Amino acid sequence: MTGRFITFEGIDGAGKSTHIKRVAQHLRERGASLVQTREPGGTPLAESLRSLFLQQDMDGLTEALLVFAARRDHVQRVIAPALALGQTVLCDRFSDASFAYQGGGRGMDWQVLQTLAGWVQQGREPDLTFWFDVEPQVAAQRRAQAREADRLEQLDLDFFTRVRAAYARRADEAPMRFVRIDAGDSIEGVGRQVLQALENRGW
């Protein structure tokens, strides 16, 4: 028996974290056993690497290596065991974020990221990825109202425009896995889009 692996992606301020909770409630009501987690993070080691990632200045390759190291521990200790037990894993970001932020935002070579993903994930990909797509200007306004910006959130709109374009590229590469959510809609409207996608899959 294997569980379902569902990831939530989008630029900072897209609102994905709000809707992870709604998806968790929806699936629990239908009897699913859930694990909620995040990246970078999800294990003690990965959370330590997350702190370094968000606080220390570094180049794109160092960012990618740090995040993929955290991801390896996360997959081994949390994601793979949960799926093997038949649990559903809801993860706030996964490897698509590396392609978007380090590939699109930082300009890293796509093939290098694919190689790292192959080593770390050993072929494991999400069953479903919600891409919360929103204009970078809107996301920036939301972030400014919600919290103090971390190292990446302080970057300019051009950076987040490149990140958004890289997410679109990933969605084009895996159209059966990705569901684009219009995250510029109201919270209620976004919630309806997400639940409709789950219902379309009989989930």
Binding residues: 10-17
Cβ proximity of 73 and 45 under 8 Å = yes
CA distance 166 to 50: 22
- 88-92 sheet: strands from edge to edge: 34-38, 88-92, 5-9, 128-133, 178-182
Give pairs for 65-68: CB < 8 Å, separation 24+: 65/116, 66/40, 67/39, 67/40, 67/97, 67/98, 67/102, 68/95, 68/98, 68/116, 68/117, 68/119, 68/120
- Please give the annotated binding residues for ATP, written as ranges: 10-17
